[in-house]
């Protein structure tokens, strides 16, 4: 009961201060950092990740799960030390949208503005503004042309708070 109240207070604090919205039954470990205006849906589990600003994470998303030893006789963690290994942190840049039921494996970097389609298993880095789908994840297409991507990158709209970000996005939308 006490733990439940503490969790609710942490959620409330994060939402009021940083507008980070973490829905119920989601677990985020202490090694994870989350940028302002990021949304994490229901039943997600996230470890060892650096998550940017304005990221949208749908329900049932698993990011940075531990790996068991593949070289030991048994994969069961009872038989070796340092059980739940995540070798590299996962990096998820600003304004990434991650669909439902996605798994992002350890050490992956997802570039700014990328989209991960529902049900994907992401095993490799994803370039900025790519749409990735499938198992294993593959690039379906890029969201924008190179020159539009450059304009978006130059604007750095995600560094703004939401009102200024809206203004910057409107300006960008008219210019492309
Ligand atoms: C990937 C996505 C963003 C759509 O991108 P899109 O470029 O508009 O894709 P399209 O619908 O035009 O489909 C293009 C192709 O990709 C396939 N495709 C689309 N989404 C897919 C997915 N999640 N997994 C596998 N293949 C997918 C389509 O079947 C189609 O294949 P085809 O060319 O062989 O017919 C969307 O399908 C998706 O997965 N959205 C996530 C929804 C979600 O999880 N919402 C949570 C609420 S926050």
Q: Whose CA is nearest to atom 9 of ligand 1?
A: 140
**Can you tell me the distance from the alpha carbon of 21 to that of 14, in angstroms, rounded to the nearest whole number?**
7
68 is catalytic: yes
| Tens of pLDDT, residues 74-131 | 988 888 776 556 668 899 999 999 999 999 998 999 999 999 999 999 999 999 999 9
Of the pLDDT bands very low, low, confident and very high (cuts 50, 70, 90), residue 35 is very high
DSSP of 110-145: E-TT-EE-TT-EE-S-B-TTEEEETTTTEEEEESS-
Sheet order of strands, 49-51 included = 33-34, 49-51, 90-92, 109-110
Residues 6+ apart with CB under 8 A from 135: 119, 120, 121
Nearest atom in ligand 1 to the alpha carbon of residue 140 is 16
| Tens of pLDDT, residues 55-74 | 999 999 999 988 888 888 99
Closest CA to 89 of 125, 133, 129, 35: 125
Q: 29 is written with which tokens? A: 């470990």
The fraction of the chain above a pLDDT of 70, given in percent, is: 95
Task: Out of 11, 68, 143, 151, pick the active-site residue.
Answer: 68
Of the pLDDT bands very low, low, confident and very high (cuts 50, 70, 90), residue 46 is very high
Substitution site in 118, 129, 132 for ligand 1 pocket (most atoms within 8 Å of beta carbon): 118
For residue 58, the 8-state DSSP code is -
Nearest atom in ligand 1 to the alpha carbon of residue 99 is 44
| Tens of pLDDT, residues 133-160 | 999 999 999 999 999 999 999 999 999 9
Q: What domains does the chain contain, in order, with CATH numbers?
A: 2-66+86-143 (2.160.10.10), 144-176 (no CATH)
- Whether 71 and 54 have beta carbons less than 8 Å apart is answered as no
Question: Does position 6 have pLDDT exceeding 60, yes or no?
Answer: yes
pLDDT score of 55: 98
Instruction: Of 6-10, 44-48, 164-168, give the lowest mean pLDDT range.
Output: 6-10
Rounded to whole angstroms, the maximal C-alpha distance in the chain is 60
* pTM assigned to the model: 0.93
- Whether 87 and 107 have beta carbons less than 8 Å apart is answered as yes
Residues 6+ apart with CB under 8 A from 114: 93, 96, 97, 126, 127, 128, 129, 130, 131, 132
Residues having CB closer than 6 A to ligand 1 are 56, 58, 99-100, 115, 117-119, 131, 133-134, 140-141
Of 82 and 47, which is predicted with more confidence?
47
> What does pLDDT average to over the chain?
92
């Amino acid at each position: 009961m006490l733990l439940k109240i503490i969790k609710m207070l942490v959620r409330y604090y994060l939402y009021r201060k940083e507008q980070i919205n973490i829905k119920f039954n989601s677990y985020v470990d202490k090694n994870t950092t989350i940028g302002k205006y990021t949304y994490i849906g229901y039943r997600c589990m996230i470890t060892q990740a650096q998550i940017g600003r304005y990221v949208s994470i749908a329900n049932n998303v698993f990011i940075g799960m531990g790996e068991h030893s593949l070289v030991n006789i048994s994969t069961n963690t009872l038989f070796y030390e340092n059980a739940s290994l995540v070798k590299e942190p996962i990096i998820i840049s600003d304004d990434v949208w991650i669909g439902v039921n996605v798994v992002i494996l350890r050490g992956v970097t997802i570039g700014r503005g990328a989209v991960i389609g529902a049900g994907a298993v992401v095993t490799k880095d994803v370039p900025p503004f790519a749409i990735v789908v499938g198992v294993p994840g593959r690039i379906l297409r890029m969201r924008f042309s190179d020159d539009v991507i450059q304009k978006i990158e130059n604007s750095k709209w995600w560094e703004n708070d939401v009102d200024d970000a809206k203004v910057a996005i409107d300006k960008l939308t008219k210019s492309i």
